[in-house]
Amino acid sequence: MRISRLLVVAAMLAVFASLPAARSPAADYKPEYKVSTVLGPPFPWGVAAEKWAELVAQRTDGRIVMKVYSGSQLVQGDQTKEFTAMRDGIIEMAVGSTINWSPQIKELNLFALPFLMPDHAAIDALTQGDVGRDLFAIIRQRGIEPLAWGENGFRQLSNSKREVRKPEDLQGLKIRVVGSPLFNDTFSALGANPTQMSWADAKPALATGAVDGQENPLTVYVNAKMETLGQTYVTLWNYVADPLIFAVNARVWNSFAPADQEIVRQAASEAGKLSIQLARDGDAEAEAELPTMGVRVTRPSAAELRAFVAATRPVFDTWAGRIGPDLVGRAESAVAASKP
Ligand code: X2X
């Protein structure tokens, strides 16, 4: 009797042990993980987020199903609430802009310091170097696991009123700006009249003429068809760029088996690279297309750019103090070292 019971237990153990190991943690997994973005496809941002979800679904044999919700719909259109919602677990994952998370992570304002990064090499010097690692460590301390960098792109100025080649041209123009107060300060310093609003509100505001202009990468300009919203003057000035961050709520992250964490991280890294490539190629294509769409493109000369730099320098200095002079100093050194 005793022996037969032991045999039964042994047989049961043998059956459990033979179950595929990778399947067991899936029991704790959610049927779906919500991924928040501001822009969906065909914007590069949305394409890259979908790619992340697709790679993870394939490589985990469907154990981890990620669904992308664009338009900041998981935070009722308020993109500046995305980081908090993800930290609180309302959203499990996001591909978020550094701008939209900077109200919670002040150090992410770094990328919005006017004229810190002149070119793509400068962005890479920050995100792919020590500065990027330090920023990820700061985010990690706040209950979010950052996995990879992506890119929204250099933000160029457009408006419906006139060519902007020098700060005086911005005088009195009503410009829609994004969520960080740093943008208000920059445009106020340039003599414009900045109005902060979400992306959800920006398009109607441009369409009705409630605002005269906005700033966004050219891929956003063309995919949102801003030339049809009266935005016929574009100034290419590379004044700031916003990287994207692929990230997961820490509790969700810790619930994944190590092998699955590796898959999710690797997929984010590949989708991040795709995001950077799509953003850069897309901006270059859009730049070539703009003149054929009846858009007047202005590219200030180096001397003309210096006037914008000088006018915004007090804003740079004030915000460098808030972001952390040490971090900003190291960022400036990394940018200087990236120059050919
Ligand atoms: O709102 C914007 O301008 C956008 C889409 O670029 C961001 O989310 C930062």
Q: CATH number for the domain including 257?
A: 3.40.190.170
Task: Give the span between the Cα atoms of 102 and 17, in whole angstroms.
Answer: 48
In a domain, 333, yes or no: no
Q: Ligand 1 pocket: which of 75, 151, 152, 177 to mutate (most atoms <8 Å of CB)?
A: 152
Q: SS3 of 264, please?
A: helix
> Into how many domains does the chain fold?
1
Task: Give the span between the Cα atoms of 70 and 80, in whole angstroms.
Answer: 14
What is the DSSP track for 272-283? HHHHHHHHHHHH
Atom of ligand 1 nearest to the CA of 38: 8
Task: Give the span between the Cα atoms of 149 and 84, in whole angstroms.
Answer: 19
Residues 198 and 103 sit within 8 Å (Cβ to Cβ)? no
At 196 the pLDDT is 97
- Supply the residue whose CA is at minimum distance from atom 2 of ligand 1: 199
Question: Is residue 323 within 6 Å of ligand 1 at its C-beta?
Answer: no
Question: Is residue 175 within 6 Å of ligand 1 at its C-beta?
Answer: no
Which residues lie across from 243 on neighbouring strands?
151
Pairing outcome for strands 174-177 and 213-216? parallel
Question: Is residue 219 within 6 Å of ligand 1 at its C-beta?
Answer: no
- In the reported structure, the alpha carbon of residue 324 is separated from the centroid of ligand 1 by a whole-number distance in angstroms of 24
In a domain, 331, yes or no: no
Task: Give the span between the Cα atoms of 126 and 72, in whole angstroms.
Answer: 27
Atom of ligand 1 nearest to the CA of 198: 1
Question: Is residue 102 within 6 Å of ligand 1 at its C-beta?
Answer: no
What is the DSSP track for 215-254? EE-HHHHHHTTGGGGT--EEEEEEEEEEEEEEEEEHHHHH
Domain containing 121: what range?
31-315
In a domain, 7, yes or no: no
Q: Ligand 1 pocket: which of 100, 184, 222 to mutate (most atoms <8 Å of CB)?
A: 100
Q: Ligand 1 pocket: which of 78, 155, 216 to mutate (most atoms <8 Å of CB)?
A: 216
At 179 the pLDDT is 85
In a domain, 21, yes or no: no
In a domain, 26, yes or no: no
In a domain, 184, yes or no: yes
CA nearest neighbour of 39 among 252, 289, 244? 244
Q: Record the pTM.
A: 0.92
- Could you identify the residue written with the tokens 């933000």? 155
At 4 the pLDDT is 55
- Supply the residue whose CA is at minimum distance from atom 4 of ligand 1: 199
CA nearest neighbour of 210 among 199, 227, 225, 195? 195
At 20 the pLDDT is 44
Task: Give the span between the Cα atoms of 280 and 120, in whole angstroms.
Answer: 8
In a domain, 206, yes or no: yes
Question: Is residue 80 within 6 Å of ligand 1 at its C-beta?
Answer: no
The distance of Cα 143 from the centroid of its chain, to the nearest Å, equals 18
Question: Cα 192–198–201 angle (5° rounding)?
Answer: 90
In a domain, 142, yes or no: yes
Residue 254: CB atoms within 10 Å: 10
Please report, in tens digits, the pLDDT of each residue of the chain (340 residues total): 454 554 444 544 444 444 444 444 456 899 999 999 999 999 999 999 999 999 999 999 999 999 999 999 999 999 999 999 999 999 999 999 999 999 999 999 999 999 999 999 999 999 999 999 999 999 999 999 999 999 999 999 999 999 999 999 999 999 999 988 999 999 999 999 999 999 999 999 999 999 999 999 999 999 999 999 999 999 999 999 999 999 999 999 999 999 999 999 999 999 999 999 999 999 999 999 999 999 999 999 999 999 999 999 999 999 999 999 999 999 999 999 998 8
Question: Is residue 178 within 6 Å of ligand 1 at its C-beta?
Answer: yes
